[in-house]
Amino acid sequence: MNIIRRIPTFFPFTLFLILLIVSCVSRPTPKEQIVSPEKTRTEIESSRQVRAMNERILMSSLSSKRDPYRDYKIGPEDLIEISVFEVEKLNKTVRVSSQGNISLPLLGVLRVKGLTANQVEKELRELLAEKYLQDPQVSVFIREYRSQRISVIGAVKEPKVFEVTGQKTVLDMLAMAGGVRDDAGHLLFLIRPPAAEGEALEALEKGKAPEALEGGKGPNQGRPQTFVIDLEELLIKGDLTLNVPLMHADVLNIPISGKVFVGGEVIKPGGFPIGKKRMTLSQAIVLAAGLKPQANGSETKIFRYSEKGIGKEVLSFNIYAIQKGENEDPYLNENDIIIVPRHGMKAFLIGIRDTVRGIFGMGYSLGSL
């Protein structure tokens, strides 16, 4: 007789319950990530600031489209149409030469490079009224704009080389590049090729940008010119004197935050990452390949933003004394701007030296100049 042992019906349920309890007990409780309130506030404030900057860029771009070519400066290869009311023989469509000139009947060769259409109209009216016509009516229309290549690189959303026509400004190009990224620093470097001329350079020199890096004048006339534009002054405080017109082959570079910037009379100006270790003033000068002969290192300036981002302080140091060990070598903060000014007398003597060398050859020497 076979005996069949019956397993109680409650046993599988009991076993399942035990396994469930064991698995819950053995499962580690996930640790909550602790984020400091200070870090959270900083990230929120940074994000708000970037949004405010990009909103200003967008609004400026939209408003500039109302009359994008009003202040356009005529340049080489532009095609302009000139009409004189009731004097058909003076009507002419002419292309601007590579030197920036045009040739017209009766008036001969005229320089129009760097002038707006309105300024050319005024000049033509004055010339015709002086010699040939009484109260001439002149109109100038720019039929074709030369193609320009302007590069936007660094911490922008769409960095690339843009093919543009007509007059463009810093804000125009930032809008075309999609605005600044969250990791963008406070500064924009404008690098201009040595052959560029015009009012944009004057606007930079006369504007409220003490961080402008000098270059491209006198003996430096074959070198690119580099300027620094404070993005907070332009985009947050609305200082439109910094929204300068751009030229063909200009490069706009917005380095990411976490760098120091060295400019003025140094051999290789630019931005340099601080890295994990702290950087001193003399180390930053070394990274910029040292001082130029015409530098005034005794008046080296550090432009430093406050921790809260409100305003900045200007500190003066004697880099020569630091290099000799006579003065302490200060540590730099993130986004510090170091500017080494030019020594007026040194620059003057070096200019004389270079001029004499150009006339008499490289063998001629002016002693220790």
pLDDT 10s per residue in the chain (369 long)?
444 445 455 455 555 555 555 455 444 444 444 444 544 454 555 566 667 777 767 666 555 544 445 667 888 889 999 999 888 888 999 999 989 999 998 889 999 988 889 999 999 999 999 888 888 999 999 888 887 889 999 999 999 999 888 888 999 999 999 999 888 887 888 988 875 544 444 444 444 443 444 333 444 455 678 788 888 888 888 888 899 888 888 999 998 878 888 988 999 998 888 766 778 999 999 999 999 988 999 999 998 876 544 457 889 999 999 999 999 999 998 878 899 998 877 666 666 666 555 554 444 433 443
Pull the structure tokens for residue 326. Answer: 């006579």
28 burial class (0-12, 13-18, 19+ CB within 10 angstroms)?
A: exposed
Burial call 305-333: b when 16+ CB within 10 Å, e when fewer: beeeeeebeeeebebeebbeeeeeeeebe
Q: Which amino acid is at 146?
A: R
Q: Which amino acid is at 29?
A: T
* pLDDT given at position 8: 54
* pLDDT given at position 102: 94
pTM: 0.52
* pLDDT given at position 207: 46
* pLDDT given at position 352: 60
Q: Where are the beta strands (DSSP E) in the chain?
A: 79-84, 92-95, 101-104, 108-111, 138-144, 148-154, 160-164, 187-192, 225-230, 251-254, 259-264, 270-273, 300-305, 312-317, 337-340
Burial call 49-68: b when 16+ CB within 10 Å, e when fewer: bbeebbebbeebbeebeeee
* pLDDT given at position 368: 40
* pLDDT given at position 363: 44
Residues found in the chain: 369
214 burial class (0-12, 13-18, 19+ CB within 10 angstroms)?
A: buried
* pLDDT given at position 150: 94
Cβ-proximal residues to 261 (8 Å cutoff; 6+ apart), any chain: 187, 189, 211, 228, 255, 269, 270, 271, 272, 335, 336, 337, 338
The structural domains of the chain, ordered by start, are 79-144 (3.30.1950.10), 147-256 (3.10.560.10), 258-353 (3.10.560.10)
Residue pair 260/274 in contact (Cβ under 8 Å)? The answer is yes
Q: Say how far apart CA 303 and CA 209 lie, in whole Å.
A: 11
pLDDT in tens, 44-66: 555 666 677 777 676 665 555 44
